[in-house]
Structure 1
Amino acid sequence: MPLAARPAPALLHRRTLLTGLAGAATAIALPARAGFNFFTSEYTATRAELEAQVRRRFPLQQGYGGLFTVQLSDPRLGLQPAANRAALTLRVAIASPFLDPGTVGGWLAISSALRYDAPALTLRLDQPRAERVELEGLGGQDAVRLQRVGAAVAQEALQGQPLHTFRPEELTVGRKTYEIGDITVLDDGIKVQLR
């Protein structure tokens, strides 16, 4: 390139600086990605990452009073930022020799607070609450009774269920190992403060 066509060194420096600043601004404007954010001391787990971990733990099956067996499967994760809660919609199947037919299916929705279990490095459901139970093909008092059974078993079975387990290296930067602080539910993931 001829000398006259080459940009001045000061202009090159400004271009490089502006390009770097534009890249940083773009990174700040993008939605949270999974992983550690050094600038804010936060770790964000995305909805997809959380749902993948949750799905691996199902189906769950639990008895109720020796009369019913309740199976929970096909979990779908929802996030409720306004309430700072996680939500799960699950397929429910209640089986009993006293039912005709022997198994009744439907859907169950729960919401739950979250807590951190430090020894296990795990974010867990805490005090899940059944919000809605819909059973197929039943009405009246039978439906009400079975809805109560499904809700009680789901709340018990899901208490303490892992939502996300951290790997030790995810909480370590250089020589510093972080502890989990505040837990915040976002539209597209869950963010934890690292301290």
Structure 2
Amino acid sequence: MIQTRRSLALLLAGAVSLFLAACASVMGPKVITFSEADLAHALESHGPYQKRLLEVLDVRVNKPSVHVMPEVNRLSSDLELVTTERVSGKTYAGSISVDYALRYDEPSQSIRLTQVHVNRLQINNLPSPEKTGLNRLGALVAEQLLNDVAIYRFKPGDLKNAEGYGYKPGAVTVTSRGVEVTLSPIR
């Protein structure tokens, strides 16, 4: 009788373990989702971005908007642009439109912009960008100011909690709901 109870208890424990393992595999990976508004707020909170170019031009970009492009796993942003010539002190306002991918950087525990591409550059009161070579300047601005910018840093406590459950951030994917960071099992 005691042997039968032990066997039944072991069988029940084994069944529960198999059920939990099956549930874990059915539930799949955990995902953190950031909406377009979350991303715009993250970019805004880290800005404005400022950079001196070629020691003659100060450039500042701010007020980002963010749009998802799930079909190409990228985001796009429109930003205000202000440039100031250091010699003359003249300031020009405009806008820049870029698209970019995102990646998770494990050493800094952050989500970063990568593969930044300039789609449009407009600086008010100047001839068209094609005539003045401003498209190349726009590409330089985007590369210098936006490439590899961290738009979100995980809090150490967040990652410790995830690690406690056997997960860590992995793939970063753009979907119609926003940006999804997949928490992958630690191996």
2:91 paired with 1:134: no
**What do the CA deviations read for 1:70-112 (whole angstroms, capped 9, x no partner)?**
111111112111110122211011211566x812211101111
2:88 paired with 1:110: no
From 62, 79, 100, the counterpart of 1:73: 62
- SS where residue 56 of structure 1 aligns? helix
Q: What TM-score results when the alignment is normalised by the length of structure 1?
A: 0.70
Residues 132, 44 of structure 1: CA spacing in aligned structure 2 closer, same or farther, 3 A cutoff?
same
| 8 A Cα contact 1:134 1:147, kept in partner | no
Q: Percent identity?
A: 26
Structure 2 counterpart of 1:115, one-letter code: R
Displacement of 1:48: 1.9
2:12 paired with 1:41: no
Partner of 2:136: 148
Residues 138, 177 of structure 1: CA spacing in aligned structure 2 closer, same or farther, 3 A cutoff?
same
Partner of 2:170: 181
Structure 2 counterpart of 1:51, one-letter code: A
- SS where residue 137 of structure 1 aligns? coil
Partner of 1:121: 109
Residues 148, 53 of structure 1: CA spacing in aligned structure 2 closer, same or farther, 3 A cutoff?
same
Structure 1 distance, partners of 2:117, 2:129, is 22
| 8 A Cα contact 1:72 1:154, kept in partner | no
Consecutive unaligned residues of structure 1, counting only runs of 5 or more, are 1-37
| 8 A Cα contact 2:31 2:180, kept in partner | yes
Structure 2 distance, partners of 1:141, 1:122, is 34
Q: What TM-score results when the alignment is normalised by the length of structure 2?
A: 0.73
Structure 2 distance, partners of 1:176, 1:153, is 41
Structure 2 distance, partners of 1:161, 1:151, is 15
Query: What are the within-5 Å matches in structure 2 for residues 17-28 of structure 1?
Result: none
Structure 2 distance, partners of 1:106, 1:174, is 44
Structure 2 distance, partners of 1:143, 1:76, is 27
- SS where residue 108 of structure 1 aligns? strand
Consecutive unaligned residues of structure 2, counting only runs of 5 or more, are 1-26
Give the number of the structure whose residues are more often helix, by fraction: 2
Paired residue total: 157
| 8 A Cα contact 1:42 1:193, kept in partner | yes
